A and B are shown apart, each in its own frame.
Chain A
Amino acid sequence: QVQLQESGPGLVKPSQTLSLTCTVSGGSISSGSYYWSWIRQPAGKGLEWIGRIYTSGSTNYNPSLKSRVTISVDTSKNQFSLKLSSVTAADTAVYYCARAIAAAEDWGQGTLVTVSS
């Protein structure tokens, strides 16, 4: 069973860039036909799909975030990453990484990122 673990700063200042990494264990990030995804959830609210990267490296992003989001993969470290630039308080949320074929089958535990000065 593959496991995913998010890591990164829990506090980011407004206008700065949020950077998170998802470490995959129990399987190679470059094997199989998977989408490696990021999803977030503000406190007390619903899930928001951020974007995904395919094993081949192709990406899809939420159009509402596309201008600020970059998702990349580092196969040598079995990790994939999220960068979200020019953050505001509205970006405060629990951020999840997930592995998907179509549905998100495996999820990390989530990490809270707070945007505040």
Chain B
Amino acid sequence: SYVLTQPPSVSVAPGQTARITCGGNNIGSKSVHWYQQKPGQAPVLVVYDDSDRPSGIPERFSGSNSGNTATLTISRVEAGDEADYYCQVWDSSSDQGVFGGGTKLTVL
């Protein structure tokens, strides 16, 4: 089955830019979605279809996808961005949704 690989953790100082990667075989050919999950809460969609933002999501959140890596970029990081982030794709070869293992973003 299709595997998505995320770094377990990323740390960034407030005001800086955080980049969270999601690796997968030819992931650039798939649509990638990103979710933010804070402790004790349900996930929230922050980027869909590689780079689109749902209404209400700040422009600081952006996404890109090419080759074997998709990236979620969070600009001007704030303390409130500290959370777990998950990437997700649809694997059409096995007809199933697949999540990455998640990345814990720490704001220093």
Contact between A103 and B45, CB atoms less than 8 A apart: yes
- Interface 9-mer from A8-16, A19-27, A83-91, A106-114: A106-114
Contact A37/B97 with A104-B45, A107-B43, A110-B42 known, Cβ cut-off 8 Å? yes
User: Which has the most chain B C-beta neighbours within 10 Å: A37, A49, A109?
Assistant: A49
Contact between A60 and B96, CB atoms less than 8 A apart: yes
**B61 is an interface residue with CB less than 8 A from chain A:** no
- Chain B: interface residue count, which band? 20 to 34
Tell me the B15-50 residues at the A interface (CB within 8 Å): 31, 33, 35, 37, 42-45, 48-49
Bound CA–CA A40/B70 (angstroms): 23
Contact A47/B99 with A102-B90, A108-B42, A109-B42 known, Cβ cut-off 8 Å? yes
- B-chain residues with CB within 8 Å of residue A96 when the two chains form the complex: 42-43
Bound CA–CA A60/B101 (angstroms): 21
Closest to A61 in B: B96
Contact between A103 and B88, CB atoms less than 8 A apart: yes
- A-chain residues with CB within 8 Å of residue B86 when the two chains form the complex: 46-47
| B binding-site residues for A, Cβ under 8 Å | 1, 31, 33, 35, 37, 42-45, 48-49, 54, 86, 88, 90, 94-102
